[in-house]
Amino acid sequence: MPLIQERPVTPASRPGKVRSDTRQPVTLLVAVALAVILVAALVVTGFPYYTLPPEERPLSPLHALLRSSGIIGLKLGILGVLLFGVLFLYPLRKRWKWLAGIGNTRRWLNAHVFVGITAPIVITFHAAFKSHGLAGVAYWIMVIVACSGFVGRYLYAKIPRRLNAVKLDAAELEAVTATLTSQVGAQGLFSAADFLPLLNIPSAEEIRSLNLLHAWWIMLRLDVARPFQVGRLRRRVLAGSRKWTTLGGLLSSHDQTVESIVSNVRRLAGLRTATAFLHKTERVFHLWHVIHRPFSLSFVVLVVIHVCVALSVGVR
């Protein structure tokens, strides 16, 4: 039974490297652990306070600690502002050459996503789960920006890229797809019919004829269905307890032959989907930028005003 072998590292010969380098630096993993510990500590310590009605909170012994201007609440606000400062380093990296030379784009983006999730959580605890006045307006704009960030990250991932985050052109996409198709066809464990559910993807011409909302829905449906289709593919060759230990094929089977084939088929399906929807994805991504940037800038302005007002009247 022929195995699907890895080839030298080039965009065309090693399609798995189109979006590789998924290993996260130790610093990011440590930051995630610290963020989880901080949130867990705040939840455990502050639950009795945060669940009180606003009018009863001043009577709580935790009020001096956890209110927005309290000993802990104020430090959370400072931490939140610092995190947002780090968050805006990612877009500035495109303009500052000295920043562009530090690390690679994928790791910067992953750090940007992590800080984009952590900062709103920290600010929520700083606000003690209250949102009113100017700070409340800034808070809800922050929520909108954070939610739109998830959408942007999803769209960004749908555009095939090299390691240096330069978008692949049409010829390279065809070369990568041809290589994967050849590798999938060379295996002898599955039949062509087994792959049909995964590779049954509308053509680029069909997608172009659809409106953005319809195309977006089809792309989401394909992405949600893909892990279950991969699980069904694994179940065809797994027997006995391995079906249970892999949660019905949703987890890796640790069978090198099976996982090599499944990995290539999954990448081929993902690449075909990305290629078919590329035109629509780029249009939506451009529209996302048009919406995301003004909200981000207005949030910065409101935060600066909030900080200045707090300092002028005295944070305590």
Would you kindly state where each structural domain of the chain is located, as residue ranges?
20-52+61-159, 170-276
Cα separation of the two ends of the chain: 73
**Two tokens at 206?**
């069909």
- CA-CA distances (angstroms) from residue 222 to 42, 197, 201, 231? 39, 10, 8, 14
Question: What is the structure's pLDDT at 303?
Answer: 84
pLDDT in the model for residue 173: 61
> What is the reported pLDDT for 268?
82
> Per residue in 68-81, is it b (16+ CB within 10 Å) or e — as a string?
bebebbbebbebbb
Give the pLDDT confidence score for residue 166 in this predicted structure: 52
Q: What stretches in the chain show pLDDT beneath 70?
A: 1-25, 161-174, 176-177, 180, 183-185, 187-188, 314-316
The answer to whether the CB of 189 falls within 8 A of the CB of 1 is yes
Long-range CB pairs of 149-154 (<8 Å, 24+ gap) are 149/113, 149/116, 149/292, 151/288, 152/285, 152/288, 152/289, 152/292, 153/109, 153/113
pLDDT at 149: 86
Three-state DSSP state, 161: strand
Q: Which residues pair with 161 in a beta bridge?
A: 167
Which residues are paired to 167 by β-bridges? Answer: 161
**Would you state the pLDDT for residue 49?**
93
pLDDT of residue 11: 40
**DSSP H/E element including 91:** helix 89-93
Of 69, 62, 32, whose CA–CA distance to 47 is shortest? 62
The predicted pLDDT at position 75 comes to 93
